[in-house]
């Protein structure tokens, strides 16, 4: 059942809240393209959230002080203590940045405190400035685009009216953050679909991200994404901790993003989810300037852009330990950059185009052979087609580990072995253009890997179903090869296959279901059924002849 949401008017469920806000987004669809109204809407969602959370915390403080015996004038003096808000992970919102103030003065028809009348866009831009100044973690993050010529001020005013029907508050600021986080992710997905191929630059389907998260199980330490998009990998990692009753503070987030607008979205996304991520002081090219040069990560989750032909290539780069990547494709540059950032016990999961598993052009085959011989590859998963609406390119996931011996990351020594999983037959079509991985699909992939590695998998961070308590198992199920789906190969077998890492080459064909019917009985049954069909055909032919004979020519 959808969670209840505290509202001022119509929306009473999360679905209705999302529908109301998407309806608001449609208000600007006719006057600007998808990428523009994405920034407008996401900024307004964030502004509404911080203001509602601030108002709710303000009333809590007022109630606490009132029950503590404070007089009204004392309460008014104490209620503006910034620490009382920031200490509860609530952003401080200056008076002229609060939603009520903006809504009251949004029509731009009257002067404010002796100042000239202002358009709604100007009020919102000023509010964004005030919030960023008051909250340094949001510096250079919020959009200041509302007073531009391309933004229809009348429609923007109508947007505010629609947003007034929903409040991002509930059972405390954490609940409010959860609600907005879900709305924000919903909008990112909707905007990614609206923008088509460009949407893939900032959004990775949640099911694909969950495959990475649930196989790596990031619980504590440093999590890194060198091409973090809107921050979806970090959000799913935080959900994984939450659903396993751990604190998000146990993870330190590091990321880098090339696109300025996407970098701002990621910073807002992390702020909404209460994650203090280090996304560097500005956006930048990971190949040209690594903004976390000395950081070694315990977990890396990444979905690099596929098959980039124009990238900042430097043949002398020390990251190319296993071979210089070709100028016409950055796939193996991303892979080697990611490996270079792994701590001694670190693990990584990377989404790649399927061609990366077998390509030999530009020396890629030699690099792949070096990676295999260095025993860095732990698992290869071939995913089903049509998971990405933005591209028809089939994708796979590579998993790496600096240490495959028995220890914290697994009780079974898998040195010299690679697990291959062929998941191409999984997934369910949600419409004619897009497929999605179900909870059962993700669990099948992850549990196969955990059985192979010797780790008990915690509960799934599924936001659509009620939380199920993690089941602690001392002895995880034993791994067994499953024809057509999973196979554990030795490095010698991979070498014999010329270092191709396509799972279909190793898992073989699925076993056909045994036919319990004895062959003699089956032949007799089929013969009887065939003769019966002949008899029925002759009977129908006779009926047709009889009817035709009655026709008066």
What is the token pair recorded at 406? Answer: 């028995």
Burial (CB < 10 A; 0-12, 13-18, 19+), residue 491, is: middle
**Residues 310, 189 share a domain:** no
Q: Closest Cα to residue 267, out of 463, 82, 43, 98?
A: 43
Q: Do 477 and 413 fall within a single domain?
A: yes
* Structure confidence at residue 441 (pLDDT): 96
Instruction: Supply the range of the domain harboring residue 525.
Output: 519-553
How far apart are alpha carbons 536 and 515 in whole angstroms? Answer: 29
**Residue 93: burial class (beta carbons within 10 Å; 0-12, 13-18, 19+):** buried
- Note the pLDDT of residue 86: 87
Q: Give dist(CA 210, CA 233) in Å, integer.
A: 8
Note whether residue 310 is domain-resident.
yes
Q: What is the total count of domains within the chain? A: 3
**Looking at the domain assignment, is residue 514 inside a domain?**
no
Of residues 302, 308, 297, 361, the one with CA closest to residue 333: 308
Taking CA atoms, 63 is separated from 4, 56, 76, 176, in Å, by 24, 11, 12, 19
Residue-by-residue DSSP string for 30-52: TTS-HHHHHHHHHHHHHHHHHHH
Same domain, 286 and 419: yes
Tokens 């253009």 label which residue? 433
- Which tokens in the block code for residue 151? 């933004």
- 109 shares its domain with 147: yes
Any alpha helices (H) in 108-171, and if so which ranges?
A: 120-134, 153-163
CATH of the domain at 23: 1.20.1260.30
Q: Is 415 inside any structural domain?
A: yes
Half-sphere exposure of residue 190: CA atoms within 13 angstroms, side-chain side:
19
* CATH number of the domain to which 319 belongs: 3.40.50.150
CA distance 17 to 182: 11
Angle (nearest 5°) at CA 248 between 243 and 251: 120
Largest CA distance in the chain: 107
In a domain, 300, yes or no: yes
Whether 395 and 539 map to the same domain: the answer is no
Of residues 272, 291, 73, the one with CA closest to residue 176: 272
Instruction: Answer for the pair 400, 368: CB distance below 8 angstroms, yes or no.
Output: no
- Mention every residue, 6+ apart, whose C-beta is less than 8 A from residue 404: 375, 378, 410, 413, 414, 415, 416, 417
Q: 187 and 229, same structural domain?
A: no
Which tokens in the block code for residue 82? Answer: 């910034």
Tell me, yes or no, whether 336 and 421 share the same domain. Answer: yes
Residue 143 resides in a domain = yes
Domain end position, chosen among 193, 212, 242:
193
| Buried-exposed string 280-305: b where 16+ CB fall within 10 A, e elsewhere | beebbebbeebbbeeebbbbbbbbbb
Question: Closest Cα partner for 22 from 9, 38, 8?
Answer: 38
Last residue of some domain: 470, 486, 507?
507
Residues 343 and 295 in one domain: yes
Is the same domain home to 313 and 338? yes
Q: Is residue 319 part of a domain?
A: yes
Residue 367: inside a domain = yes
What pTM was computed for the model?
0.79
Q: Choose the final residue of a domain: 193, 226, 256.
A: 193
Same domain, 301 and 447: yes
Distances (CA, A) of 435 to 212, 305, 317, 432: 18, 20, 39, 8
Q: In this structure, what token pair is assigned to residue 524?
A: 């007799």
- From the list 51, 231, 50, 44, the residue with the least C-alpha distance to 145 is 44
Same domain, 336 and 473: yes
How confident is the prediction along the chain (553 residues), in pLDDT tens digits per residue?
334 434 344 445 667 777 777 776 666 666 666 667 778 888 888 898 888 889 888 999 989 898 888 888 888 888 999 998 988 888 999 999 999 899 888 765 455 555 667 889 999 999 999 999 999 888 888 999 899 887 888 888 888 887 776 666 555 445 555 666 677 777 777 776 666 555 445 578 889 999 999 999 998 899 999 999 888 899 888 888 877 766 556 889 999 999 888 898 888 888 877 787 899 988 999 999 999 999 999 999 999 998 999 999 999 999 999 999 999 999 999 999 999 999 999 999 999 999 999 999 999 999 999 999 999 999 999 999 988 876 677 899 999 999 999 988 889 999 999 999 999 999 999 888 788 899 999 999 999 999 999 986 544 444 343 333 444 445 557 899 999 999 999 999 999 999 999 999 999 887 665 566 788 888 888 888 888 898 889 898 888 888 888 776 5
Same domain? For 41 and 119 the reply is yes
Cβ 234 vs Cβ 302: under 8 Å:
no
Distance CA 203, CA 34 (A): 14
Identify the pLDDT of residue 466.
Answer: 36
Task: Give the integer Cα–Cα distance in Å for 394 and 392.
Answer: 6
Label each residue of 171-237 as H, E or C.
Answer: CHHHHHHHHHHHHHHHHHHHHHHHHHHHHHHCCCCHHHHHHHHHHHCCCCEEEEECCCCCCHHHHHH
Task: Tell me how far CA of residue 115 lies from CA of 102, 118, 125, 145, 147, in angstroms.
Answer: 15, 8, 16, 22, 17
Is there a contact between 505 and 430 (Cβ–Cβ < 8 Å)? Answer: no
Structure tokens at 25: 């987004």
In a domain, 1, yes or no: no
In terms of DSSP bridges, do strands 221-225 and 251-255 run parallel, antiparallel, or are they unpaired?
parallel
């Amino acid at each position: 059942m959808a969670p209840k949401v505290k509202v001022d008017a119509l929306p009473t469920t999360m679905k209705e809240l999302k529908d109301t806000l998407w309806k608001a987004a449609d208000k600007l669809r006719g006057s600007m393209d998808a990428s523009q109204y994405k920034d407008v809407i996401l900024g307004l969602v964030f502004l509404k959230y911080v203001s509602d959370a601030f108002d709710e915390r303000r009333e809590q403080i007022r109630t606490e002080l009132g029950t503590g015996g404070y007089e009204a004038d004392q309460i008014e003096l104490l209620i503006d203590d910034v620490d009382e808000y920031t200490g509860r992970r609530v952003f401080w919102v200056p008076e002229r940045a609060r939603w009520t103030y903006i809504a009251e003065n949004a029509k731009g028809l009257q002067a404010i405190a002796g100042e000239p009348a202002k358009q709604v866009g100007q009020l919102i831009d000023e509010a964004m400035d005030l919030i960023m100044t008051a909250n340094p973690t949001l510096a250079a993050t919020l959009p200041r685009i509302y007073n531009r010529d391309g933004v229809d001020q009348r429609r923007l005013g109508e947007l505010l009216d629609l947003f007034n029907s929903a409040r991002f508050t509930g059972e405390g600021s954490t609940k409010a953050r959860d609600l907005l986080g879900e709305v924000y992710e919903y909008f990112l997905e909707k905007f990614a679909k609206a923008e088509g191929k460009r949407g893939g630059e900032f959004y990775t389907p949640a099911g694909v991200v969950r495959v990475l998260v649930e196989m790596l199980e990031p619980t504590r330490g440093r999590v890194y994404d060198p091409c973090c998009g809107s921050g979806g990998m970090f959000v799913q990692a935080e959900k994984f901790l939450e659903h396993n009753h751990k604190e998000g503070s146990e993870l330190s987030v590091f990321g880098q993003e090339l696109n300025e607008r996407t970098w701002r979205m990621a910073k807002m996304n992390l702020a909404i989810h209460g994650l203090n991520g280090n996304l560097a002081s500005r956006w930048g090219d990971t190949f040209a300037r690594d903004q976390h040069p000395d950081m070694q990560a315990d977990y890396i989750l990444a979905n690099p852009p596929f098959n980039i032909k124009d990238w900042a290539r430097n043949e002398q780069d020390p990251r190319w330990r296993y071979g210089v990547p070709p100028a016409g494709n950055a796939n193996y540059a991303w892979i080697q950059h990611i490996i270079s950032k792994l701590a001694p016990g670190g693990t990584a999961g990377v989404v790649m185009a399927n061609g990366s598993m077998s390509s030999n052009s530009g020396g890629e085959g030699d690099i792949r052979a070096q990676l295999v011989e260095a025993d860095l590859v732990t698992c290869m998963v071939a995913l089903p087609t049509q998971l990405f609406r933005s591209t028809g390119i089939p994708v796979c996931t590579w998993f790496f580990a600096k240490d495959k011996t028995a220890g914290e990351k697994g009780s079974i020594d898998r040195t010299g072995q690679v697990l291959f999983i062929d998941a191409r037959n999984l997934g369910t079509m949600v419409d004619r253009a897009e497929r999605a991985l179900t909870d059962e699909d993700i669990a099948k992939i992850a549990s196969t890997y955990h059985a192979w590695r010797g780790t008990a998998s915690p509960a799934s961070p599924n936001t659509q179903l009620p939380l199920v308590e993690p089941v602690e198992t001392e002895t995880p199920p034993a791994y067994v090869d499953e024809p057509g789906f999973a196979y554990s190969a030795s490095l010698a077998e991979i070498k014999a296959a010329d270092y191709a890492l396509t799972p279909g080459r190793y898992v073989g064909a699925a076993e056909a279901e045994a036919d319990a019917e004895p062959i003699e009985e089956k032949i007799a049954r089929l013969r009887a059924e065939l003769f019966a069909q002949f008899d029925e055909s002759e009977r129908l032919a006779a009926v047709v002849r009889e009817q035709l004979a009655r026709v008066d020519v």
